[in-house]
Each structure stands twice: as C-alpha cells, then as structure tokens.
Amino acid sequence: MSRSEISPRESGTLAVASASRGPWRTAGVVGLVGAGAAVGIDLITLHWSLGILAGPASIGLFLFFLVGGAGAAAQRKGGDHRVRRWAQEHPWQAAGAPAAALAVTNTLTQYFLSSSGLFASIWTGLWHAALLYAVVGVVSSVAGARKRAGS
C-alpha cells in the first residue's frame, strides 16, 4: 500500500485500526497502577488540593496510551496482516492515533479535575501528546525496521 493508493481519511482509519491491536487490558492495568502510585505519593507528601486527581489521572492516561500504542507497534502476530504491514510502513502515522486520543482525554481531564483554564489544559494535553507521539513513533519505527529485516 503506497501513499498514493489511500486517502488521508483511510490513513486515519488504518492508524486507529493499528492502535486497536495493542494490549489495552495490560495498558489499563499499568495506567491504574501508575495513577494509584501518584495518588499515594500525593497523599503521603500531603500534597492536598482541589486538583489532587488531575496529576495522577494525567499520569495514568499517559501510561495507558504509551503501553497500548507501543504494544500495538511491537506486536508480531494477530489481527489483519494488511493493517500490520501498513503500520510497519507508516510508523509515525500509526503513532498519531494514541497521541490524538491522549491529547483529547488529557485536555478534558485537566480542564475538569484541576483549576487550570481552557488554554492551560489544552497546552498540557498537547505537550503530553507530543511526548507520547515521539516515544511511540520511535518504538514503531524500530519495531517496523526489525520486522522488515526479519528479526
């Protein structure tokens, strides 16, 4: 599947399909453990505020999408082989789906659970998503290169 054969809309659909192959149950557990640890640290250090859940929720969401997105890239078996091949050939587009989902969910979390305003919430969601995009993109690139090399 070359770039000229698929439309941008189809490319987005393939990115979501690729991300759906991830280990999302494991990602949920990792996200909950990370968020729980952050809440525990906030409680132990007496970091009490109205937004005590905003930071841990943000950490949990980041870990959730990190494990799910990177796990989808690293998976060797299962699912439609055409989607796997597309994700190997387009690692940065495949990384866009979890990053976009994190941007939206993290922005909403920051806006509703913290005292941040709209623009601060959007900024937080975007820079966390950019970081996730970079990490999952690198993992996807390396995993795709290893799969193409036959390792």
Give residue-wise pLDDT tens across range 26-60: 999 999 999 999 999 888 988 777 678 899 999 99
Model pLDDT for residues 98-149, shown as the tens digit of each residue? 999 999 999 999 999 998 899 999 999 999 999 999 999 998 888 777 666 6
Q: Which two tokens stand for residue 117?
A: 């305003």
Higher pLDDT, 3 or 86: 86
For residue 150, the Cα-to-chain-centroid distance in whole angstroms is 26
Q: Which two tokens stand for residue 2?
A: 């070359």
| Short-list 13, 99, 108, CA closest to 64 | 99
Higher pLDDT, 149 or 69: 69
Looking at every residue in the chain, the average pLDDT score rounds to: 85
Encoded amino acid at 144, one letter: G
Q: Which two tokens stand for residue 10?
A: 């189809």
Query: What share of the chain has pLDDT > 70, as a percent?
Result: 89
CB 44 within 8 A of CB 100: no
pLDDT band at 1 (very low <50, low <70, confident <90, very high): very low
> Domains of the chain: which residue ranges?
3-149
What pTM was computed for the model? Answer: 0.84
Q: How far apart are the first and last CA of the chain?
A: 22
The residue whose two tokens read 């809309």 is 9
Instruction: Report pLDDT for 63.
Output: 96
Instruction: Report pLDDT for 26.
Output: 92
